[in-house]
Amino acid sequence: MPHVADKKVTVADFDHEYVANASRYAQCEERIREFFPLCEFDGPKRVLDIGAGAGWLGRHLADQGHDVTLVDLSPEAVKIARRVAPECEVVCADMLDFLRGNEERFDVVVLTDVVEEIYQDQLDPLLEMTKGAEVLILSTSTH
């Protein structure tokens, strides 16, 4: 998978990666979907799903009554997510750009299969921008 910080990488590279590995991303979303009920919440939460892919997790969480924002860098994934999860806000953006430009705080932040794509110098800003979250859920799979 190309890294966002690599200037030679284009968004088309992410689209290609998303399409080529859609089943792997679906497995990550399924693992999160199974884990999420274990988090006991006192009512609906504001959920940010970074690396949202096709939006299946977001749809599931919205169906549970949560207010969900989906963020993905791939325009192809975002196009699908807008159809799959129309009740969610869906944003096509780099995760750090989105977080820097967003004043809203989220109760729950989910990063599905993006942790391994974060450079060390991106980790501190990511943690700083998500520190108000009650829960931070990270999921990754081995390639």
pLDDT, tens digit, 9 for 90 and up, residues 20-34: 666 665 666 666 666
The confidence score (pLDDT) of residue 23 equals 64
The residue with greater pLDDT, 117 or 38, is: 117
What's the average model confidence in pLDDT over 80-95? 93
How high is the mean pLDDT of the chain? 76
Q: Which residue has the higher pLDDT, 15 or 68?
A: 68
Using CA atoms, how far apart are residues 17 and 2, in angstroms rounded to an integer? 8
pTM: 0.73
Q: What is the pLDDT of residue 7?
A: 41
List Cβ neighbours of 89 (8 Å cut-off, separation of 6 or more).
Answer: 68, 69, 70
From the CB of residue 131, how many other CB atoms can be counted at a distance below 10 Å? 10
